[in-house]
Structure 1
Amino acid sequence: MFKEQPRVLVVEDEPAQLEVLAYNLESEGFLVSRARDGEEAILVIGEDVPDVIVMDWMMPHLSGIEVCRRLKSNPETRSIPVIILSARSEDVDKVRGLEIGADDYVVKPYSVVELMARVRTQLRRSRPSSLGGEIKFEDLILNLETYKVTRGEIDLKLGPTEFQLLKTFMEKPGRVWSREELLDRIWGRDLYVETRTVDVHIGRLRKVLSRHGGTDTIRTVRGVGYSLG
């Protein structure tokens, strides 16, 4: 998926949230470093500079905003993209975060799919060479840089969730994914989503894939889940 594995530093003082973020990032092919507060983040960055930082605003000892301010004022670290996570949803807070130098601002609770897309966006800006180009399966081509999917010579219009589902299938053709595994991978462990939701999005994906006469490449394994091919 990647030409070389990009490293993402996750800075979060809540252990459960830290592990949820790390799990989803690792599932997307990133190397993940962890820090449980702002001071530890500074130490980790000094030892191994990450390609992207995903950081909570409110933390003990040193807030995410202060860490961001320090990083952006240092010529050696100012180019590292920083995504701030915060429960503060007021425009004034977003403006403050961006003015400090944050490259993106994500309000909690957030969609895991959206956050992964935002991480890729920042990585694409800072290290475009690290992203792989395409995943292919039979006549399907999924472009990881442009987020476009084609079948034959026809462009397919997929929503973000359907895109992530197809990418998951195409990365491991023939592997059977249970509904629970797809929920964890696409929606994340921290969100409660009914397994029926997976069926709905699989149905939408199938509809798009076969819209122009293509065969249904997604296989239903009764009592287990779904696979590609």
Structure 2
Amino acid sequence: GELMDVRDGYLYLVAVDGFRISMRRTKVQSDQNFKVTVPGKALTEINKILETEEDSVATISFTGKHALFTMNNTIVLTRLLEGQFLNYQRNLSMDFSSKVIVDKQELLDSVDRAALISRESKNSPIRLDIQDKTMLITSNAENGTAHEEVPIELEGNGLTIAFNPKYYLDALKAVSDEKIEILYSSALTPCIIQATEGEDYKYFILPIRLHN
């Protein structure tokens, strides 16, 4: 399920799995603060409806253990999930010692090309060597090795860190901004990918341990 956290005039939509947390923030009209967990499949269907509607505005109401989404002539009723949702705010507000600023599309294209090699080997991560002005992206598999290089701005210390290429690409594809920030502290602790301005998107992702 996905968390809908409404507070102070914003909707925070949060999805989690064992390796990552995705948070998207958008303004809403609401005089109440509340949290509910909605099945992910229902939200996927609602998103498809909104993409086909000219007036992409949804009204959400709650009836006991259900949520009612009204979009023009379409109404979707879905049950709410019970149980405690992960404290995502604690994870997304961690302190980080270093920050990379990079062109999102350039990084996305480079990681995508490097990931072509790793796709042939299910357990092959992409490796990021973060240096003063450059990020070196490499991927090794039985069928070859890929090398990419992207210019960056670095605040803090460089390091070498590795990720599941699919998870990393998912994070980059979800951001619409031209520039992004990558926050990290070490090769074994999570990093956060977010826009350089505003708090509308955060993606928390766990790295993969590199074996020498």
TM-score when scaled to structure 2?
0.26
Structure number with the bigger relative contact order (C-alpha 8 A, sep ≥ 6) is 2
TM-score when scaled to structure 1?
0.24
**Bigger proportion of residues as helix:** 1
**Bigger proportion of residues as strand:** 2
